[in-house]
Amino acid sequence: MSRLANFLRRPRNFAAVAVASAGVAFSYKAAPHLFPNHIYRPIFEAYKAGKPYKVTVEQEQEFEQACNDLNIDASKYRTFVTSRWEVKSVGLPWFPAGCHTGIPASMVAEPELTNLRFSGPIKANLDTREGMWLKDSLKLSPAARRFAMAQQIALSDSNLSFYPIVLAPITTLTGFATTFIMHTIAPIAPIFVTGLGIGTCFYFAYSFLLGSVNERIDLKVNQRLAAISDEYTMGGLEFYEKLLQKNRGLRSLLGKKGEHLYTYYGNETSGLVYSTGATNIQKRDVLKKMVEAAEMERRAKEKADAVS
Protein backbone atom coordinates (compact mmCIF):
# COMPACT_ATOMS: atom_id res chain seq x y z
CA MET A 1 0.00 0.00 0.00
CA SER A 2 2.85 2.38 0.88
CA ARG A 3 4.51 1.66 -2.47
CA LEU A 4 1.31 2.59 -4.29
CA ALA A 5 0.96 5.75 -2.21
CA ASN A 6 4.54 6.73 -3.05
CA PHE A 7 3.85 5.97 -6.70
CA LEU A 8 0.81 8.27 -6.73
CA ARG A 9 2.66 11.13 -5.02
CA ARG A 10 4.67 11.69 -8.18
CA PRO A 11 2.79 14.18 -10.40
CA ARG A 12 3.55 12.29 -13.61
CA ASN A 13 2.27 8.99 -12.23
CA PHE A 14 -0.81 10.58 -10.70
CA ALA A 15 -1.58 12.32 -14.00
CA ALA A 16 -1.25 9.01 -15.86
CA VAL A 17 -3.70 7.33 -13.48
CA ALA A 18 -6.10 10.28 -13.81
CA VAL A 19 -6.00 10.19 -17.61
CA ALA A 20 -6.46 6.41 -17.63
CA SER A 21 -9.46 6.68 -15.30
CA ALA A 22 -10.99 9.42 -17.45
CA GLY A 23 -10.43 7.23 -20.50
CA VAL A 24 -12.28 4.37 -18.84
CA ALA A 25 -15.17 6.70 -17.94
CA PHE A 26 -15.32 8.02 -21.50
CA SER A 27 -15.16 4.54 -23.02
CA TYR A 28 -17.93 3.28 -20.73
CA LYS A 29 -20.23 6.13 -21.76
CA ALA A 30 -19.24 6.26 -25.43
CA ALA A 31 -19.04 2.55 -26.27
CA PRO A 32 -22.81 2.04 -26.81
CA HIS A 33 -22.83 5.05 -29.17
CA LEU A 34 -19.66 4.06 -31.00
CA PHE A 35 -20.68 0.41 -31.45
CA PRO A 36 -24.48 0.30 -31.07
CA ASN A 37 -24.78 -2.74 -33.31
CA HIS A 38 -22.44 -4.78 -31.10
CA ILE A 39 -23.16 -3.47 -27.59
CA TYR A 40 -26.63 -1.95 -27.32
CA ARG A 41 -28.67 -3.79 -29.94
CA PRO A 42 -27.85 -7.41 -28.95
CA ILE A 43 -28.91 -6.68 -25.36
CA PHE A 44 -32.23 -4.96 -26.02
CA GLU A 45 -33.41 -6.49 -29.30
CA ALA A 46 -36.62 -8.51 -28.97
CA TYR A 47 -36.53 -12.18 -29.97
CA LYS A 48 -39.16 -14.81 -30.57
CA ALA A 49 -38.30 -18.49 -31.08
CA GLY A 50 -34.62 -17.55 -31.26
CA LYS A 51 -35.10 -15.03 -34.06
CA PRO A 52 -35.28 -11.23 -33.79
CA TYR A 53 -38.63 -9.56 -34.34
CA LYS A 54 -38.95 -7.80 -37.66
CA VAL A 55 -39.89 -4.14 -37.84
CA THR A 56 -43.39 -3.93 -39.31
CA VAL A 57 -44.19 -1.89 -42.40
CA GLU A 58 -46.38 0.32 -40.23
CA GLN A 59 -43.53 1.05 -37.80
CA GLU A 60 -41.10 1.74 -40.64
CA GLN A 61 -43.51 4.16 -42.31
CA GLU A 62 -44.20 6.05 -39.08
CA PHE A 63 -40.48 6.29 -38.35
CA GLU A 64 -39.74 7.67 -41.81
CA GLN A 65 -42.62 10.13 -41.44
CA ALA A 66 -41.15 11.37 -38.15
CA CYS A 67 -37.78 11.86 -39.88
CA ASN A 68 -39.44 13.78 -42.70
CA ASP A 69 -41.32 16.01 -40.25
CA LEU A 70 -37.96 16.90 -38.67
CA ASN A 71 -36.23 17.28 -42.06
CA ILE A 72 -33.77 14.56 -41.12
CA ASP A 73 -32.27 11.94 -43.43
CA ALA A 74 -33.80 8.60 -42.38
CA SER A 75 -30.92 6.66 -43.98
CA LYS A 76 -28.71 7.56 -40.99
CA TYR A 77 -30.95 5.52 -38.72
CA ARG A 78 -31.40 1.78 -38.44
CA THR A 79 -34.50 0.49 -36.72
CA PHE A 80 -35.13 -2.74 -34.84
CA VAL A 81 -37.77 -4.08 -32.47
CA THR A 82 -36.77 -3.74 -28.83
CA SER A 83 -37.86 -5.58 -25.71
CA ARG A 84 -37.90 -2.27 -23.82
CA TRP A 85 -41.07 -0.32 -23.08
CA GLU A 86 -39.93 2.90 -24.73
CA VAL A 87 -38.34 4.01 -27.99
CA LYS A 88 -34.58 4.36 -27.52
CA SER A 89 -31.98 5.61 -29.97
CA VAL A 90 -28.26 5.02 -29.43
CA GLY A 91 -25.44 6.39 -31.55
CA LEU A 92 -24.78 9.67 -33.33
CA PRO A 93 -25.51 10.47 -37.01
CA TRP A 94 -21.92 11.49 -37.72
CA PHE A 95 -20.44 8.29 -36.27
CA PRO A 96 -19.69 5.53 -38.81
CA ALA A 97 -22.18 3.17 -37.17
CA GLY A 98 -24.95 5.77 -37.35
CA CYS A 99 -27.93 5.57 -35.00
CA HIS A 100 -29.78 2.42 -34.01
CA THR A 101 -33.33 3.02 -32.82
CA GLY A 102 -35.27 0.41 -30.91
CA ILE A 103 -39.06 0.49 -31.38
CA PRO A 104 -41.18 -1.43 -28.84
CA ALA A 105 -43.06 -4.40 -30.25
CA SER A 106 -46.26 -2.98 -28.74
CA MET A 107 -45.95 0.29 -30.66
CA VAL A 108 -48.38 -0.63 -33.42
CA ALA A 109 -52.04 0.14 -34.10
CA GLU A 110 -53.20 -3.18 -32.58
CA PRO A 111 -50.54 -4.39 -30.11
CA GLU A 112 -50.45 -8.03 -29.06
CA LEU A 113 -51.00 -7.94 -25.30
CA THR A 114 -51.32 -11.60 -24.34
CA ASN A 115 -48.73 -13.31 -22.15
CA LEU A 116 -46.72 -10.15 -21.65
CA ARG A 117 -43.66 -10.44 -19.42
CA PHE A 118 -42.89 -7.30 -17.51
CA SER A 119 -39.86 -8.03 -15.36
CA GLY A 120 -37.90 -11.23 -15.72
CA PRO A 121 -40.09 -14.19 -14.80
CA ILE A 122 -42.92 -12.06 -13.36
CA LYS A 123 -46.22 -12.41 -15.16
CA ALA A 124 -49.04 -9.97 -14.52
CA ASN A 125 -52.77 -10.59 -14.50
CA LEU A 126 -54.20 -8.38 -17.22
CA ASP A 127 -57.80 -9.07 -16.17
CA THR A 128 -57.56 -6.81 -13.11
CA ARG A 129 -58.39 -3.11 -13.12
CA GLU A 130 -54.69 -2.27 -13.22
CA GLY A 131 -54.24 -4.75 -16.05
CA MET A 132 -56.93 -2.97 -18.03
CA TRP A 133 -55.11 0.32 -17.40
CA LEU A 134 -51.96 -1.26 -18.75
CA LYS A 135 -53.60 -2.65 -21.87
CA ASP A 136 -55.23 0.70 -22.61
CA SER A 137 -51.97 2.59 -22.03
CA LEU A 138 -50.18 0.60 -24.75
CA LYS A 139 -52.70 1.60 -27.42
CA LEU A 140 -51.33 4.83 -28.82
CA SER A 141 -52.64 6.93 -31.68
CA PRO A 142 -50.42 7.42 -34.76
CA ALA A 143 -49.61 10.96 -33.57
CA ALA A 144 -48.46 9.69 -30.16
CA ARG A 145 -46.32 6.96 -31.74
CA ARG A 146 -44.70 9.45 -34.12
CA PHE A 147 -44.01 11.80 -31.21
CA ALA A 148 -42.23 9.02 -29.29
CA MET A 149 -40.09 8.19 -32.32
CA ALA A 150 -39.41 11.82 -33.23
CA GLN A 151 -38.27 12.52 -29.69
CA GLN A 152 -35.36 10.10 -30.00
CA ILE A 153 -34.61 11.15 -33.58
CA ALA A 154 -34.39 14.81 -32.56
CA LEU A 155 -32.24 13.94 -29.55
CA SER A 156 -29.72 12.08 -31.71
CA ASP A 157 -29.74 14.59 -34.55
CA SER A 158 -29.05 17.56 -32.28
CA ASN A 159 -26.07 15.73 -30.71
CA LEU A 160 -27.50 16.50 -27.27
CA SER A 161 -26.83 12.90 -26.24
CA PHE A 162 -23.10 13.65 -26.63
CA TYR A 163 -23.00 15.89 -23.55
CA PRO A 164 -23.36 13.08 -20.98
CA ILE A 165 -20.53 11.25 -22.77
CA VAL A 166 -18.00 14.05 -22.23
CA LEU A 167 -19.31 15.03 -18.79
CA ALA A 168 -18.08 11.81 -17.12
CA PRO A 169 -14.36 12.08 -18.08
CA ILE A 170 -14.31 15.83 -17.37
CA THR A 171 -15.69 15.23 -13.88
CA THR A 172 -13.20 12.40 -13.35
CA LEU A 173 -10.20 14.53 -14.34
CA THR A 174 -11.40 17.42 -12.19
CA GLY A 175 -11.81 15.11 -9.21
CA PHE A 176 -8.29 13.71 -9.59
CA ALA A 177 -6.82 17.20 -9.99
CA THR A 178 -8.63 18.41 -6.87
CA THR A 179 -7.41 15.38 -4.92
CA PHE A 180 -3.79 15.97 -5.88
CA ILE A 181 -3.94 19.70 -5.10
CA MET A 182 -5.64 19.15 -1.74
CA HIS A 183 -3.17 16.45 -0.75
CA THR A 184 -0.24 18.65 -1.76
CA ILE A 185 -1.49 21.74 0.09
CA ALA A 186 -2.88 20.01 3.19
CA PRO A 187 -1.65 16.40 3.51
CA ILE A 188 -3.64 15.75 6.69
CA ALA A 189 -4.79 12.30 5.54
CA PRO A 190 -3.47 9.50 3.30
CA ILE A 191 -3.99 10.18 -0.39
CA PHE A 192 -6.47 7.29 -0.59
CA VAL A 193 -8.66 8.84 2.11
CA THR A 194 -8.45 12.25 0.47
CA GLY A 195 -9.31 10.72 -2.90
CA LEU A 196 -12.26 8.80 -1.47
CA GLY A 197 -13.72 11.89 0.19
CA ILE A 198 -13.28 14.16 -2.82
CA GLY A 199 -14.38 11.41 -5.20
CA THR A 200 -17.63 10.99 -3.26
CA CYS A 201 -18.29 14.74 -3.42
CA PHE A 202 -17.63 14.80 -7.16
CA TYR A 203 -19.89 11.79 -7.69
CA PHE A 204 -22.76 13.66 -6.07
CA ALA A 205 -21.91 16.76 -8.10
CA TYR A 206 -21.77 14.70 -11.30
CA SER A 207 -25.13 13.07 -10.59
CA PHE A 208 -26.76 16.42 -9.87
CA LEU A 209 -25.24 18.07 -12.94
CA LEU A 210 -26.17 15.14 -15.18
CA GLY A 211 -29.76 15.30 -13.95
CA SER A 212 -29.90 19.05 -14.62
CA VAL A 213 -28.47 18.66 -18.12
CA ASN A 214 -30.82 15.79 -18.98
CA GLU A 215 -33.80 17.75 -17.69
CA ARG A 216 -33.03 20.73 -19.92
CA ILE A 217 -32.40 18.44 -22.88
CA ASP A 218 -35.70 16.59 -22.39
CA LEU A 219 -37.75 19.77 -22.23
CA LYS A 220 -35.87 21.42 -25.11
CA VAL A 221 -36.48 18.45 -27.42
CA ASN A 222 -40.18 18.32 -26.53
CA GLN A 223 -40.58 22.03 -27.24
CA ARG A 224 -38.92 21.52 -30.62
CA LEU A 225 -41.40 18.77 -31.48
CA ALA A 226 -44.38 20.78 -30.28
CA ALA A 227 -43.33 23.61 -32.60
CA ILE A 228 -43.75 21.34 -35.64
CA SER A 229 -47.54 21.20 -35.46
CA ASP A 230 -50.52 20.99 -33.11
CA GLU A 231 -50.74 17.30 -33.98
CA TYR A 232 -47.33 16.68 -32.44
CA THR A 233 -48.27 18.66 -29.34
CA MET A 234 -51.44 16.64 -28.83
CA GLY A 235 -49.60 13.42 -29.67
CA GLY A 236 -46.98 14.21 -27.04
CA LEU A 237 -49.65 15.00 -24.47
CA GLU A 238 -51.34 11.66 -25.15
CA PHE A 239 -48.00 9.84 -25.04
CA TYR A 240 -47.14 11.12 -21.56
CA GLU A 241 -50.65 10.57 -20.23
CA LYS A 242 -50.50 6.95 -21.39
CA LEU A 243 -46.95 6.59 -20.04
CA LEU A 244 -48.04 7.73 -16.58
CA GLN A 245 -51.03 5.41 -16.78
CA LYS A 246 -48.81 2.47 -17.74
CA ASN A 247 -46.40 3.12 -14.89
CA ARG A 248 -49.21 3.35 -12.35
CA GLY A 249 -50.57 0.05 -13.60
CA LEU A 250 -47.15 -1.63 -13.41
CA ARG A 251 -46.58 -0.23 -9.93
CA SER A 252 -49.63 -2.16 -8.75
CA LEU A 253 -49.18 -5.28 -10.88
CA LEU A 254 -45.54 -5.85 -9.94
CA GLY A 255 -46.04 -5.39 -6.20
CA LYS A 256 -42.93 -4.38 -4.26
CA LYS A 257 -40.82 -4.39 -7.42
CA GLY A 258 -43.28 -2.01 -9.05
CA GLU A 259 -43.21 0.28 -6.02
CA HIS A 260 -39.43 0.34 -6.28
CA LEU A 261 -39.49 1.22 -10.00
CA TYR A 262 -42.39 3.70 -10.17
CA THR A 263 -43.84 6.42 -7.96
CA TYR A 264 -47.50 6.68 -7.00
CA TYR A 265 -48.08 9.30 -9.72
CA GLY A 266 -46.42 7.30 -12.50
CA ASN A 267 -42.94 8.80 -12.66
CA GLU A 268 -39.87 6.60 -12.78
CA THR A 269 -38.17 6.44 -9.38
CA SER A 270 -35.40 9.02 -9.04
CA GLY A 271 -31.77 8.04 -8.68
CA LEU A 272 -29.74 8.04 -5.49
CA VAL A 273 -28.87 11.73 -5.71
CA TYR A 274 -30.97 13.35 -8.41
CA SER A 275 -33.40 12.46 -11.14
CA THR A 276 -31.80 11.40 -14.43
CA GLY A 277 -33.95 13.92 -16.28
CA ALA A 278 -37.29 15.70 -16.36
CA THR A 279 -40.10 13.65 -14.85
CA ASN A 280 -42.96 12.43 -17.00
CA ILE A 281 -45.30 14.84 -15.21
CA GLN A 282 -42.96 17.76 -15.98
CA LYS A 283 -42.86 16.84 -19.66
CA ARG A 284 -46.64 16.42 -19.80
CA ASP A 285 -47.31 19.70 -18.01
CA VAL A 286 -45.05 21.67 -20.38
CA LEU A 287 -47.01 20.36 -23.36
CA LYS A 288 -50.31 20.92 -21.55
CA LYS A 289 -49.41 24.57 -20.96
CA MET A 290 -48.55 24.96 -24.64
CA VAL A 291 -51.94 23.51 -25.61
CA GLU A 292 -53.73 25.80 -23.15
CA ALA A 293 -51.79 28.85 -24.40
CA ALA A 294 -52.64 28.02 -28.01
CA GLU A 295 -56.30 27.58 -27.08
CA MET A 296 -56.40 30.94 -25.27
CA GLU A 297 -54.76 32.61 -28.25
CA ARG A 298 -57.31 31.05 -30.60
CA ARG A 299 -60.22 32.21 -28.45
CA ALA A 300 -58.79 35.71 -28.17
CA LYS A 301 -58.43 35.87 -31.93
CA GLU A 302 -62.00 34.66 -32.45
CA LYS A 303 -63.25 37.25 -29.96
CA ALA A 304 -61.30 40.01 -31.72
CA ASP A 305 -62.66 38.94 -35.10
CA ALA A 306 -66.21 38.91 -33.71
CA VAL A 307 -65.84 42.46 -32.33
CA SER A 308 -64.42 43.78 -35.57
- Going residue by residue through the chain (308 aa), what tens digit of pLDDT does each one get? 567 667 667 777 778 888 888 899 888 888 888 888 888 888 888 887 778 888 888 889 999 999 999 998 888 888 998 888 888 888 887 777 788 899 988 887 666 655 455 544 445 566 777 778 788 888 889 999 999 999 999 988 877 777 878 888 898 889 888 888 887 787 777 777 777 888 888 888 888 888 888 888 888 899 999 989 889 999 999 999 999 988 888 888 777 877 777 777 777 776 665 566 788 888 999 898 888 887 888 788 877 777 76
Q: How far is the C-alpha of 41 from the C-alpha of 173, rounded, in Å?
A: 30
Q: Packing angle between helix 191-226 and helix 142-157, nearest 10 degrees? A: 130
Q: Where are the domains of the chain?
A: 2-307
- CA 245/CA 136 separation, integer angstroms: 9
Q: So what's the pLDDT on residue 112?
A: 65
For residues 5, 11, 12, 18, the Cα torsion angle rounded to the nearest 10 degrees is 70
Q: Is residue 166 a contact partner of residue 33, using CB atoms and an 8 Å limit?
A: no
CB 65 within 8 A of CB 147: no
Whether 90 and 152 have beta carbons less than 8 Å apart is answered as no
Mean pLDDT, the chain, as a whole number?
82
Pairing of strands 77-82, 99-104: parallel
Instruction: Write out the H or E segment, with its range, that includes residue 48.
Output: strand 47-48
Please give the pLDDT value at position 64: 93
Dump pLDDT digits (tens) for 125-176.
667 777 787 888 888 899 999 999 999 999 888 777 778 788 888 988 898 8
At 175, the amino acid letter reads: G
Q: Which residues of 267-304 are buried (b: 16+ CB within 10 A; e: fewer)?
A: beeeeeebbbbbbbebbbebbbebeeeeeeeeeeeeee
Pairing of strands 99-104, 88-91: antiparallel
Residue 70 host element (H or E): none
